[in-house]
Amino acid sequence: MSESGPEEPPEPRGTLRPTSARALTVCAVAGLVIGWGIHPALSRIAGRPPLVSWPQVLALVLVAGIMGFLAWQTWQTVQVRGQRLEPQQAVNRLVLARACALGGTVVAAGYVGYAVSWLGDASQYADRWILRSAVAALGALGVTLASLVLERACRADGGRSQP
């Protein structure tokens, strides 16, 4: 204690690490396994494999575009103009970025696994599902990449490591 009163403890400063490669790898492996296994499993259970439609693909491309725009807008605000986001807004964007990065990875790998499950299949639909799955995987990969950029844009220190 000092004469002027009790000393206040310093404000806690936490650090939040970017999404790890390990987490992304685990999500990718899980997505591959699920995507590859869903074709034979649902063919046996429901009598037909799940369909991959263009609206599904377009939805992923739309989400990737939204995440890309949000990443660009956040980067301009925080890194270029040096302004600070409101704390709640920064947390919301960071949580959204991390969730979409992990979710996008699972979905992208799931579509890749689904496409792989059709290789060598003699069905008349095989080429169609492989193409649509590949395009959907690219859309989901766009979601992942834009989300990782958004996560980095939220860093108030500009992404530089602290001493």
From first CA to last CA, the distance across the chain in angstroms is 30
What pLDDT was estimated at residue 125? Answer: 85
Rounded-to-integer distance, Cα 107 and Cα 31, Å: 6
The pLDDT value given to residue 136: 97
Question: Per-residue pLDDT for the chain (163 aa), expressed as one digit of tens each?
Answer: 555 556 776 665 667 788 999 999 999 999 999 999 999 999 899 988 888 999 999 999 999 999 999 999 999 999 899 888 898 999 999 999 999 999 999 999 999 999 999 998 888 889 999 999 999 999 999 999 999 999 999 887 644 544 3
d(CA 157, CA 153): 10
Q: Collapse the DSSP code of 5 into the 3-class scheme (helix H, G, I; strand E, B; otherwise coil) and give the result.
A: strand
- Give residue limits of the domains in the chain: 22-153
Residue 130's pLDDT is: 94
Confidence (pLDDT) at 12: 57
